[in-house]
Amino acid sequence: MMTIKTLLTAAALAVTPALAMATCPSKQEVTMTCAAGQMYDAATNSCKVVSG
């Protein structure tokens, strides 16, 4: 009986990452938001204070 439990547990642990990857698309669009008075600078991947 212990062998069956061990095999089922191993199978569940082996399949779980594959299921997680199937539901999560590899290419996602991410939107960067900055505080008021700042703009996103793609060159530095950070928010910069807008002057003027």
CA 32 to chain centre: 15
For the chain, the structural domain boundaries read: 1-26
Both structure tokens of 6: 């061990």
What is the DSSP secondary-structure string of 7-26? HHHHHHHHHHHHHHHHHS-S
Q: What is the mean pLDDT of the chain?
A: 79
- pLDDT of 13: 78
pLDDT range class, residue 17, cuts 50, 70, 90: confident
Query: pTM higher than 0.85, yes or no?
Result: no
Confidence of residue 38 (pLDDT cuts 50, 70, 90): very high
pLDDT band of 26, cuts 50, 70, 90: low
